[in-house]
Amino acid sequence: MLKHGGLALGSLGTFSLPALSQAIQASSSPFKRPRLKITDVRTAQVSVHGPQTHVRIYTDAGLIGQGESTDAAVGSAALIRSFRRGLVGQDPLNVEALWERIRTSGVFAGAQGGQYTTALTGVEIALWDLAGKALGLPVYQLLGGKFRDKVRIYCDSGRDDVLTPESEKKIDWIKSQGFTAMKVDLDDAADPNRFDRVNWTANNAEIDRMVKWVEHVKGIIPASMDFACDMHGRYDAPTGKKVAKVLEPFRLLWLEEPVPPEDIDALVDIRHSTTTPICVGENIYMRWGYKEIFEKRAADIIMPDIQKTGGLAEAKKIADMSHAYEIPFAPHCVVSPIGQMASAHVCASIPNFLVCEWHWIDNLDTWKSFVQEGEIIQKGYITVTDKPGLGVEMNEEAAKKVQIPNTPWFEPGM
C-alpha cells in the first residue's frame, strides 16, 4: 500500500505524514469518548418560588455538571451528601446506572418518592449536563433528538385574587409577552365563604366564587389563549366533581388536581363525570407512580414535575408511557432558568408534549439575571439551545441574592 501510495502521499507536500495520521485517527475513531471520574458533589440552596437545591458534579477533567431540584428540596442537601460516596470515583457518563444504584440503595428506607427522589433528581440532571458537556452535545440529543425547536410555555399567574387591579395588570403583562396559555389558582384558604378552616368541602358560595374568577379571566384574555385552573389537590371528591362540571362551558385547557392525586379512584370518577379535562401529576414520583393512573384512565393530561419526579430520563419514560395511552404531557415547573431549560430539553424530545409551566412572574428581576444567558423565554416559547449540556450557566452574583441563609454555597464536600 505504501509502495503504490507513495506518490499520493508525496503530493500532499507540506501535509506531513504525522499530520495525516492524526487526521485519519480523528476521523476514523468515532467511538472514543472522554474518560472521566467524579471528584466531588456540591450543593447550594436558594428560595424563590419555594426552596430549590442546585447541584454541581465535579470531575478530574475540570468539567462541571449542574442540576436543580425543587419543592421537597428542603433536606436534599443532606441526602445528596449521602449519595456522594456512591458517586465519587465513578464514570459520570453512566447516568442511568448511577441513578439506578442510588434509587435502589434507598429501597429499604422506603425512599420511593419525596425528598429522596427529589434529591436524586437534582443529581441526575447534573449528570446529564455533564455528559453533554463531555461529549459536546445538547441534552436533547442525548435523550434521542428533538421533535421541535421551540417549547411552548404557559404562565402561572400566582395565587392572587383575580378580581383585583393588581391581578389585571399581571394578566395584561402575560398577554403582552406573547404567552398562548396561562393558569390561575382557584383554591383560596381565605375565602370568607368557607365554613371550616380544616375541611375543604366547598359550599355553593365558594364554588360561585371560583366560577366568577374563571368567567372574569376568560372575559379579558384573547379567545385563542388556553386557560387552565388549579385546585392544588385540596378539595374532596364531591367538590372536585361539582367544580369540574360547572366549569364545562368555559372549555378549560385543564382543571388541575381537583382532589388529592393519591385518590386515583376519585380522579377516575371525576374524569368520567365531566368534559372538563383533568390534569394531575406534580406530586407523583417516578414512572411507577403513574402506572395506576394510566391503567385506570384517571387523567386526561399529566404534569410531572421534572425537577423532582426522578430526572430527565425518568420524565421521558413517563412521557413515553403517557404516549402509549394517548395522554398529553404538560410538566409542572417552578424553578430557575437552569431547571426550566432542563425541562425544555425533555419537552423537545417527546412527541406528546403539550405545554410547560413557568412560575416566576412574581420574581422577574431574579429570573432575568439568574443565568448568564439572560432571558430564555421569548414570546411564550423557549428555543432549545444547541450548546453542550443544558446550555445555560448560573450567574452566581444574581443567584446568591436569593441564597437560603446559613446554607453552603457549593463548598467542597457539601
Backbone angles phi, psi at 117, to 5 degrees: -70, -35
Residue 139 in grid coordinates:
441534552
Residues 283-304: tens digit of each pLDDT: 999 999 999 999 999 999 999 9
pLDDT at 109: 76
Kindly give, in sequence order, each residue whose CB lies less than 8 Å from that of residue 143, ignoring residues fewer than 6 positions away. 312, 313, 316, 345, 346, 349
What per-residue confidence (pLDDT) applies to 119? 95
Q: What percent of the chain has pLDDT over 90?
A: 81
Residue 345: predicted pLDDT: 98
Mean pLDDT of 65-70: 97
Give the β-pairing of 278-280 and 301-302: parallel
**Does pLDDT of 91 surpass 70?**
yes
- pLDDT range class, residue 14, cuts 50, 70, 90: very low
Contact 183, 220 (CB under 8 A): no
379/321 Cα distance (integer angstroms)? 30
Q: What is the dihedral of CA 202, 203, 206, 212, to 10 degrees?
A: 120
Q: Provide DSSP, 277-332.
A: -EEE-TT--HHHHHHHHHHTT--SEE--BTTTSS-HHHHHHHHHHHHHTT--B--B
Residues 6+ apart with CB under 8 A from 182: 154, 155, 156, 157, 171, 174, 217, 221, 225, 226, 227, 228
Q: Per DSSP, which regions of 60-216 are E strands?
A: 64-70, 150-156, 181-185
Structure letter (DSSP) for residue 385: P
- Specify the amino acid at residue 164: T
Between 18-27, 232-241, 319-328, the lowest mean confidence (pLDDT) is in: 18-27
Contact 151, 331 (CB under 8 A): no
The domains located in the chain, with CATH, are: 38-137 (3.30.390.10), 141-390 (3.20.20.120)
Which has the closest alpha carbon to 310: 291, 289, 336, 329?
289
Residue type, 50: G
Task: Tell me the pLDDT tens digit for each residue of 354-400.
Answer: 999 999 999 999 999 999 999 999 999 999 999 999 999 999 999 99
pLDDT value for 186? 96
- In terms of Cβ atoms closer than 10 Å to its own Cβ (0-12, 13-18, 19+), residue 41 is buried
- As a whole number, the mean pLDDT across the chain is 91
Cell, residue 194: 368557607
**Local structure of 105: helix, strand or coil:** helix
CB-CB contact of 319 with 343 (8 Å): no
pLDDT tens per residue across span 99-136: 999 999 988 877 778 899 999 999 999 999 999 999 99
Which 8-state DSSP code applies to residue 409? B
Give the mean model confidence (pLDDT) for residues 177-196: 94
The grid cell for 339 is 431547571
The answer, yes or no, to whether residue 342 has pLDDT greater than 50, is yes
| pLDDT of the residue at 110 | 76
Give mean pLDDT, residues 72-93: 91
Tell whether the torsion through CA atoms of 190, 242, 279 and 310 is positive or negative: positive
Q: What is the pLDDT of residue 28?
A: 58
List b or e across 318-350, with b for residues whose CB sees 16 or more CB atoms inside 10 angstroms: bbebbeeeebbbbbbbbbbbbbbbbbbbbbbbb
Give the sign of the dihedral formed by CA 162, CA 164, CA 166, CA 168: positive
**Which is higher by pLDDT, 167 or 259?**
259
Extract the C-alpha cell encoding 20: 495525516
- Matching residue, cell 374563571: 214
pLDDT at 41 over 90: yes
Residue 351 near residue 143 (C-beta atoms within 8 A)? no
Residue 31 has pLDDT above 90, yes or no: no
Higher pLDDT, 45 or 35: 45
